[in-house]
Amino acid sequence: MVDTIQAVFNLVGMAVSFFRSFFSSTPKPTMVCPTKPSSVTPRPYPANPFPDAYPVNPFPVNPSPVNPFPVPLRPTPGKKPDDIWGGFRQGPDGNCVTVSAIKAAMMKFGQKPTDIFKEVKKTGDGYAVIMRDGVEVKFSQAELQMGSRGSQFIGPNREMLEDARFLFTASAKRAQMENNDGTAARSFNQAIKTLNDGEYSREGLLRLGLKNHIKTVPLSALLNGMIGTIERRGHSVAVIEGVEELWGKRGGKPYQPGTITGLV
Q: How far is CA 48 from the centre of its chain?
A: 16
pLDDT at position 148 is: 97
**pLDDT score of 14:** 55
pLDDT band at 38 (very low <50, low <70, confident <90, very high): very low
For residue 47, give the nearest of 96, 97, 94 by alpha carbon: 97
What's the whole-number average pLDDT of the chain? 79
Stronger pLDDT, 216 or 5, i.e. the higher one: 216
pLDDT at 6: 54
Is the pLDDT score of 236 beyond 50?
yes
Is the pLDDT at 58 greater than 50? The verdict is: no
- pLDDT of residue 74 exceeding 60, the answer is no
pLDDT recorded at residue 152: 94
Q: Write down the pLDDT at residue 219.
A: 94
Please tell me the predicted confidence (pLDDT) of residue 13: 54
H or E segment to which residue 139 belongs = strand 136-140
pLDDT at 225: 94
Residues near 172 by beta carbon (within 8 Å), at least 6 away in sequence: 147, 150, 188, 191, 192, 195
What are 98-130's pLDDT values in tens digits?
999 999 999 999 999 999 999 999 999 999 999
pLDDT reading at 177 higher than 80: yes
How does 208-239 read in b/e, with b if 16+ C-beta sit within 10 Å? bbbbebbeebebebbeeebbbbbbbeebbbbb
- Of residues 125 and 3, more confidence is placed in 125
Least confident of 41-45, 103-107, 145-149: 41-45
Taking 60 as the threshold, does the pLDDT of residue 187 lie above it?
yes
**Could you tell me whether strands 249-250 and 259-263 are parallel, antiparallel, or unpaired per DSSP bridges?**
unpaired
Residue 201 pLDDT > 90: no
Give this prediction's pTM.
0.73
Instruction: Return the minimum-mean-pLDDT range out of 54-58, 76-80, 183-187, 227-231.
Output: 54-58
Q: How many angstroms separate the CA atoms of 221 and 148, rounded? A: 33
pLDDT band at residue 214, thresholds of 50, 70 and 90? very high
101 neighbors 45 (Cβ within 8 angstroms): no
CA dihedral sign of residues 195, 199, 203, 205: positive
